[in-house]
Amino acid sequence: MKKTPYLYTLLAASLLSFSACNSTTSTSASATTDAIASAAQAAAAPELDLAGAKAAYISYCSGCHGEELEAFADRKWKHGSSDEDLFKAIKHGYPDEGMPAFAETFSDEQINGLVAYIQQGIKGIKAYDFGNEKTVEAVQQSEEQQFRLDTVATGLDVPWGMAFLPGGEMLITDRSGKLFRLSKDRKLQQVEGAPKVLAQGQGGMLDVELHPDFAKNNTIYLSYSAVKEEGGQTLSSTAVMRAKLNGTKLSEQKVIFEALPYSRTRHHYGSRLEFDKDGYLYISVGDRGNHDENPQDLARHAGKVHRVKDDGSIPSDNPFVNKQGAVASTFSYGHRNIQGMVLHPQTGQIWTHEHGPRGGDEVNIAEKAKNYGWPIISYGINYNGTVLTELTKKEGMEQPLHYWVPSIGPSGMAFVTGSRYKNWEGDLMVGSLRFQFLSRLKMDGTKVLGEEKLLKNIGRVRDVKMGPDGYLYVAVETPGTIYRLVPVE
């Protein structure tokens, strides 16, 4: 939705201890706020009733606080958050803090309508506050399924990715820079020959994927934050290595993908790997924190989903293979930081989810040549509360199938298949780093019907996978633990 620009700083975030609209632009914001307040007060106040409060909020307030009240998440209220506190703030303002008064713009009844709408939104945001509720290794009762947790592996730090080997064994990457092989008797053995990584920030050893014909060729793929020294600086980038796995050793290592240019930042590597039914490998690369240049520039690798053959060469039908200056491996673009990618078991489509800023984590289907809009369109706002973009939709850019406000920090992704979880089949499981739970998205085709929050307060869920044994596996950070969800009749 395109919002009227002159209303952006009304209901300014001085309501919060963390200023939403004037924290980074103090001088210009002060002058702008004065002009905006004068213009707003000169305009005729719209006739609002309680039913019209949402429309009023979107028109007058969402520029600062987001259409879904994103700026109200994770903040302590400087002037209180009761009905009386909010009424006072809107009506009388806090001029010294950039919050204009609206006594001449709205009637008391209209202000009460805004207060009621804001309180309703705050209540929705608090849906992810699980209090002291704990996940224990006892029987868990979900809406449609009882299950217990079975601890599969411990002694890890940040288990970032999982891949299942024939015969009941598993490969596990640890962001610290290590690759482990988990035996059938649940013993961890470090695999030698893994690539050198920059284990800083969000970087390190990241995803792991088996070749579709692993049983014949023993080939695996590792994504990681590659490192090099240049001009006296330590730079890093997302890279993918192909290698042969022989017991607990790697051989024939070869880097088949390297995102350019390297960057000084230590975040937004992306790095999920997934093969499609035709044997092409998909690689997600985050925007590396440079949203101004990378996601929309086809000459750069960052902020994209890439598609390559199993040896790293470029498929001839890639969408930009004949476009001058474009990166030939690019499949889709306009992404922020994809940390979930999975092949749909029925349609064969590649589904992804990516991190938004404050608000606007998205679920998408990655389609050839499509632009997913970042940072031109977004359902989120900047971390400091300022407006990132006034647009949530634009022609030629894809809308998400689902988005979260506030951001849950999604990581890992799996469709439930098989008959073990009778009432979950076809649903989409997503891990939450931020709120530390497992999200079950109830699916009807490509439509999300609702969300159930499982494993509350279990820890930062980094990965979730369906195993070949028909069980769901969940990887949790620090202490790094792998759990298996075992249905209970």
Res 382: pLDDT: 82
Predicted pLDDT at 75: 57
105-109 contacts: CB < 8 A, separation 24 or more? 105/40, 105/41, 105/43, 105/45, 106/45, 106/48, 107/45, 109/48, 109/49
Instruction: Tell me if 486 sits within 8 A of 474, measured CB to CB.
Output: no
Q: Give the pLDDT confidence score for residue 117 in this predicted structure.
A: 81
Indicate which residue of 65, 211, 268, 301 is catalytic.
268
pLDDT value at residue 312: 98
Fold of domain 5-128 = Cytochrome Bc1 Complex; Chain D, domain 2 (1.10.760)
Write out the chain in H/E/C secondary structure.
CCCCHHHCCCCCHHHECCCCCCCCCHHHHHHHHHHHHHHHHHCCCCCCCHHHHHHHHHHHCHHHHCCCCHHHCCCCECCCCCHHHHHHHHHHCEHHHCECCCCCCCCHHHHHHHHHHHHHHHHHHHHHCCCCCCCCCCCEECCCCEEEEEEEEEEECCEEEEEECCCCCEEEEECCCEEEEECCCCCEEECECCCCCCCCCCCCEEEEEECCCHHHHCEEEEEEEEEEEECCEEEEEEEEEEEEEECCEEEEEEEEEECCCCECCCCCCCCCEEECCCCCEEEEECCCCCCCCCCCCCCCCCCEEEEECCCCCCCCCCCCCCCCCCCCCEEEECCCCEEEEEECCCCCCEEEEECCCECCEEEEEECCCCECCCCCCCCCECCCCCCCCCCCCCCCCCCCCEEECCCCCEEEEEECCCCCCCCCCCCEEEEECCCCEEEEEEEECCEEEEEEEECCCCCCEEEEEECCCCCEEEEECCCEEEEEEEECC
Rounded CA-CA distance 236/414 in Å is 29
**For the whole model, what pTM was predicted?**
0.82
Residues 72/386, Cβ–Cβ less than 8 Å: no
Give the per-residue pLDDT at 104. Answer: 82
| Residue 81 near residue 69 (C-beta atoms within 8 A) | no
Q: What is the mean pLDDT of each successive set of 10 residues along the chain, which is 489 residues long?
A: 31 33 35 37 44 72 63 68 88 78 83 84 75 76 91 97 97 98 97 97 97 98 97 96 98 98 96 98 97 97 98 98 97 98 97 94 98 95 79 96 93 97 95 96 96 95 97 96 94
Q: What is the rounded distance in angstroms from the CA atom of residue 100 to the CA atom of residue 27?
A: 16
| Domain ranges (residues) in the chain | 5-128, 140-487
Query: Domain 140-487: which topology?
Result: Neuraminidase (2.120.10)
Residue 306 known to be catalytic: no
**Per-residue pLDDT, 335:** 98
* 140-487 and 5-128 share a CATH fold: no
